[in-house]
Amino acid sequence: MSLIKRETPRPIKFTPHINPYAHGSVMAEFGNTKVHITASVQESVPPFLKGKGQGWLTAEYAMLPSSTHTRSDRERKGASGRTQEIQRLIGRALRSVVDLSKLGERTIMIDCDVIVADGGTRTTSISGAYIALEMAVKKLMKDGLLKQNPIKEQLAAISIGINKNNEVIADLNYEEDSNCSTDMNIVMTGSGKFVEVQGTAEHEPFSMDELQALLACAQTSLKVVMKEQKAILEKV
């Protein structure tokens, strides 16, 4: 059975109000990973929701060319398969904790732009996007555009892996992620329910005991993340 080596995340920093134009904005940092996140409100919904009296929430994700060790070109011809997968993950994760019927016919657009990628960019994006979303909703309520808070509960995400020494590690940096035999991305709510569990065995398949160790590590780690989220939201 794998032993838990590190069940706390890397140093976390959330810097709010980094964009004066967005309804909500935050710089989310986990270790060296940095993601610029905004939440913008559009007074319209996609065509498939027009006239239904409910809102929508969606997300976009991108990596700046020099965010990784080797410069990558901008995705001018459209989002890659990986980018589309991450965008959908961020969007559906946030929608899981939002009552869209309370939004009215408006859309909240989450934009996540990775400035520095050192592992966990999608999980950092989700944890930071929750803060930006809370800020946007708070502004809508302050402006009298929402009567009820549509956010049902807290949301955060973390990466977890098993390294070659059979140790479980939380919040993987790039080097750790590259050398893990198993890695996972876990999205959870404040009540401890799972929204998403993405796991892959890169080499040897993992056992049920190892899966339980990974999930336990994620739960412990996410309590730290959620505590940091609450602390910053109390100040904005």
Q: How remote is the C-alpha of 141 from its chain's centroid?
A: 23
Residue at 214: amino acid letter: L
Taking every pair of Cα atoms in the chain, the longest distance, rounded to a whole number of angstroms, is 56
Number of domains in the chain: 1
CB atoms closer than 10 angstroms to residue 182: 23
Q: What is the pLDDT of residues 152-188, one digit of tens each?
A: 999 999 999 999 888 999 999 999 998 899 999 999 9
For the cut 70, the answer to whether the pLDDT of residue 75 exceeds it is no
The answer to whether 125 and 113 are in contact (CB under 8 A) is: no
Q: Which amino acid is at 42?
A: Q
Mean pLDDT of 104-132: 96
Q: How far apart are CA 150 and CA 148, in angstroms?
A: 6
- Sequence-ordered list of residues with C-beta below 8 angstroms from that of 158, at least 6 positions apart, any chain: 9, 120, 123, 127, 170, 171, 185, 186, 218, 221, 222, 225
Instruction: State residue 64's pLDDT score.
Output: 80
Tell me which of 81-85, 86-90, 158-162 is least confident.
81-85
CATH number (domain holding residue 57)? 3.30.230.70
How high does pLDDT run on average in the chain?
92
Name the residue range of residue 171's domain.
3-233
- d(Cα 221, Cα 236) in Å, to the nearest integer? 24
Q: What percent of the chain clears pLDDT 70, i.e. is strictly above it? A: 94
Token pair 């939201």 in the structure block, residue = 233
